[in-house]
Structure 1
C-alpha cells in the first residue's frame, strides 16, 4: 500500500481551500435560493437547503475525479441539457415566488416547507448549475495535478462541500434573526418580487450564456 506524503500536496490544498471559500461566498443561484427558503419558510428550511447544495457538490466532485467533467464540458448536447434544465428550474421557482399573493408568512421559525423539499430544492439548484461543471473542470484540470492520489482529491472535495455547508448554514441562521425577520416582514411584497425576479434573471442568464 502506497504511503501518501501529505506535505507534497499542501500548495494544492491551500489553493483548493481558497477557491472553495470564494466559490461559496460568491453571489449566485444557490445563495438566492437559500435566502428564499430561509426567510419565506424557516431557518430549518434554509439549513436543509444548505445540506442539499452540499450533497449536490459531491455529484460534481465525483464526475470530475472520474474525468467526466471534460466530456460534459466538450459535449454540446450534454452541456445544453444541463444548462436548459437548470435555467428552466430557476425560472420556474423564481416565477412562483414573484407572482406570490403574499400568503407566505415571513417568520423564520415555522413554515410549510418540509425538510425533504428544502433539501431537494438545494440539491437540484446546484446539481443543474452548468457553472458548477465549468468550475470543477477548472479545479481538477488546472489546480489539481493528474498524479494527485484519489484519496487526496476526495479530501479536496470534502473541503469544498463542507465550506459550502458552513457558509450557507451561517447565511440561513443570520437571515432568520428576529430583528431581521421583523424588518423583512414590513417589506414582504417587495422582497418576494425581488427574490423571484433575481431567480428568473439567473435562469435567463444561464439559458442565454453561450460560453462553456
Structure 2
C-alpha cells in the first residue's frame, strides 16, 4: 500500500486546500446575487466548486435565468475578488511548513487550480511561495473541470512523474474522485465548505487530514 513517503510528486489544489480563500467566494456570491435581488441558496457554492470561471458563469446564468454574458459575470467576480486575494487571503495553518518540508526532500510540487491565474498568482507571490512550485496548472489549459482528471494529469506530466507516483491534495469530492480514478494517491484536506460531502470524502480519499500539522 502506498504512503506519502513513497511518492515523488505532490499536486495541490489552491482554494480551500492550501489557501484559506473560500470566504472570499462566499462574499462574492453574496454581493453578486444581492445586487440582482436573488437569494444565496445553500447548495450554490458546492454546485460550482469544481468548475472553472467560465463554466461557473454559464451555470449561474442558466440557474438564475440571467440576461448577461459569461464574460460579464466573470469580470464582476474578478473585480470583487481581486483585492482580497492580493491583500488578505492567507495560507491554511502549517501549509507553508509542509511545502518547505517537501522542498527539502527534493520532490516535485505543482499546483492545480480552477481559479484565474490573475487572482492566485499575486496571492502566492505575496505569501512568498510561488517559487516552491515546479508548475502552476489551471483549468483553462485543459478545457474541462475537476470532474475530469485532466488537470492533475497535465500537472504530473509537467513534473515528468507518473500518476501512481503522485499525491493529489484536494478539498472537494469531485476532485478527489477524478484524481483517484486516474491512479493518483489522494489526500483530502478538511474544509468546512465541503461539510455536506465529508463522509463520502473520507471514504473515498486514501488519506484525510484536518490540518497540515499532521504531516509535519
TM-score (ref. length: structure 2): 0.28
Structure whose alpha-carbon radius of gyration is higher: 1
Relative contact order (alpha carbons < 8 A, sep ≥ 6): 1 or 2 greater? 1
Q: Which has more helix, going by share of residues? A: 1
